[in-house]
Amino acid sequence: MMSSFFTPRGAPPHSDTPRHPASARALSLSLLLGLSPLAGITPAALAAPAQAAPDQQAQPAQATPASPTATREDADESEQTIPRVQEEPRSPEMDGFKVSPETLNISRGGTVTLTTPPLSAEFRQNYEFYEFSLVERGSSYFHRGHNEFHTPGTQYGYVFDRDPNPKQMVENPDGSYTFFLNVQPLIIEAEEGTLFDVILTYYRKGYHPGPWQSDLRLVARAPINVVQDPKPTETKYIFGVSAIDDPWKDTTLTLEGFHILTSGSREDWGGPALLALYEVDPKTGKIVGKPVFTDWIRYTHCGEICSSFLNEHFKTSITIPGGTLKPGKVYKLGFYGYDRPKDEKYPGELLNDVADFIPVRSPNKESASPEMYLKVTTMSPYDGENILPVRAVGLKKQSGVSYRFSVQHVDEQGRLTGQKALVQEIAAENIHDGTVDERLNVLGEALNYDGSYRLFLEKVTAGKDGTVESVEQLVSKDLQLEVTTDKEGDVAWEWFRYRQILPEFSDSGMTKYMTRRDITVALYRLAGSPRVELPATSPYPDVQPDDPDYAAYIWARQKGVTFGWVDGNFHPDVQLSPRSIVAFLYRYQRSHGKVSPSLPTAAPQPRNGSLPGSKDSELSTKNWATELEEGSAFWRESRWAVQQHIWGYAENWRREYFTWEQTTTYNLAVMLYRMEHGGSRLR
């Protein structure tokens, strides 16, 4: 049984002026016909329409919508105001303006079409269409407070002009236009008595307003009948299948819910709800244990925050990993809103909107084919350990047969190179009902910095003498390497903190600018803070022997890292540019015999014939190497830093310049990390 929404609701409680039906004043669309210039419009305040008699209110809206009205919407329209309109005599030439269907069921959705009368050549030359929408009666937005603006594809249909959205607008042979608006099921939430219009807006060509602007918008408006199905009064779920027949494989399931009242916004502005699947004790019917499966579902009813489901309804797709559900077990499904399972005193205490899950069958688990499920599919050579939780299903216990996981390197052409980063046997006692859960620990030092990796589930058959007779690769999953500037920077900073190179900056000094004192002390500590014979008289007039960093300054002088300035002072508080920093690094490495005494003279050679972060080997090195002119201060040391992949990389928009006036603690950490680990591995 459908209920009509055409009993006038009256004025909003915060307004003394009732909203007007669009048919109360039939206004001209002569502008659409090109019969009247835009400059002739002078908005006037709309008088309050006469209140309909009670017997008239009870009647459904007219089968044929009234002639549309043309309005110029007020730029400051809000819930407290009524749009202004241009009052003109009704134009009989607009009687052919058509909206279809006469009645739209917003529970089921559908396509609304609007066809204009034939439009003059003058109009088509001077105006362009902008928006075809379904809105509340008398409004220019689906919600009268246009801060609740929704993206295209939900309540709104946009045309802008003829080219971007040709499927939403068709020009007919007679010069008329037909517009299409696809209204999704249950995307509109309306109270009983809400009246609706369809509006078609347009502008003079050359004026392109943003979605928040309504100034200079011309609107053609027509009412449309809207009904909806009665809403369910109990929680109901509709599943994409009637049962799960092979739980040993990943199951992707379409799930739709009605009368879902869960609400809350603990996590963030999106306020996701937590969908949870629990096992049920068949004897007591009570939920037991922890959730066997959870998934985050975004709320769709949004104001300032999203904290509930629009129309108490949601539809999504979930993937349940193979082996999660067991044949013959009984499960229940429900939601957590603000609360979570960790807040409960007993399993399912705070679970909302609970209903039975579909049956789980396939008792013949021996027939299940092997499958793997991975929660993590990336690894990084920068990490000390890469933990990969993996589940394998469909493993059959046989005499002389065992299983194992192996992680193998794959080159850029997708071929196995023969390098194995991990081989891990699966103990037979760990296999239960054909399923095993393992944690693979792949060490970062075992990984390359190029190509990718592949995880294999392998079947090993033993020979008569106990040796391996054959290895069969049953199934595989691709693993990607995470070798990025951000990842390298994160690892470099943690290494910098762990080594206590400049502990005074480790916790909150990532953006502190480095001084001559800082770089000298950092290199001294990196060298292990060696014992130094300290002169009783300082070689630097501005540094005294009782200075806490005196040993670092003397060590740096003895090792040839720095001799101070030409004026004889050390200037410990002077901030350094990156080119000055790399000069210190070069001398440090030279003191350890890691570079030749002479400075480099040749330009750096890119790895693999191409620049880091670039697919074009002919691109100039200026953007990623050094922008210093030859012969300028520390030019050659900067070239060395680029050659050694210590500084001078650029990945996407990021640049590592030598001409910055200061160097942050973070940048120093990256330089030192690269220097100590053989240069950056970014490609």
| pLDDT tens readout for residues 378-391 | 999 998 899 999 98
Average pLDDT over residues 342-353: 94
Q: Is the pLDDT of residue 69 over 60?
A: no
Question: Could you tell me the maximum CA-CA distance found in the chain, to the nearest angstrom?
Answer: 108
Burial status of residue 660 (CB atoms within 10 A of its CB: 0-12, 13-18, 19 or more): middle
Q: Is 333 helix (H, G, I), strand (E, B) or coil?
A: strand
Same CATH fold assignment for domains 236-363 and 369-479: yes
Q: Is the pLDDT of residue 519 over 50?
A: yes
Which residue type sits at 335? Answer: F
DSSP state, residue 344: -
Average pLDDT over residues 115-121: 88
In terms of pTM, does the model score above 0.85? no
Q: Where are the beta strands (DSSP E) in 139-280?
A: 156-158, 169-171, 177-183, 196-204, 218-228, 236-239, 251-258, 273-280
Using a pLDDT cut of 70, give the percent of the chain over it: 72
Contact predicate 158/131, CB 8 Å: yes
CATH topology of domain 369-479: Immunoglobulin-like (2.60.40)
Question: Which of the following CATH numbers is that of domain 236-363: 1.25.40, 2.20.25, 2.60.40, 1.20.1050?
Answer: 2.60.40
Domain residue ranges of the chain, discontinuous segments joined by +? 3-228, 236-363, 369-479, 486-676
Q: Shortest CA distance to 601 belongs to which of 636, 634, 645, 625? A: 636
Phi/psi at 538 (nearest 5 deg)? -70, 140
pLDDT at residue 469, rounded to an integer: 79
The terminus-to-terminus CA distance of the chain in angstroms comes to 65
DSSP per residue over 374-411, as a string?
Answer: ES--EE-TTSSEEEEEEEEE-----TTEEEEEEEEEE-
For 140-147, the CB contacts below 8 A with 24+ separation are 140/73, 140/77, 140/83, 140/199, 140/201, 140/214, 140/217, 140/219, 141/77, 142/188, 144/12, 144/77, 144/78, 144/79, 145/78, 145/79, 146/77, 146/78, 146/212, 146/214
> How confident is the prediction for the chain on average, in pLDDT?
77
Name residues whose C-beta falls within 8 Å of residue 151's C-beta, 6 or more positions apart in sequence: none
What is the rounded distance in angstroms from the CA atom of residue 650 to the CA atom of residue 484?
11
pLDDT at residue 301, rounded to an integer: 84
Which residue type sits at 416? Answer: L
| pLDDT tens readout for residues 621-658 | 444 444 667 777 888 898 888 888 899 865 444 578 88
| pLDDT tens readout for residues 403-461 | 999 999 999 888 999 999 999 999 999 998 788 899 999 999 999 888 899 999 999 99
Q: Is the pLDDT of residue 370 over 90?
A: no
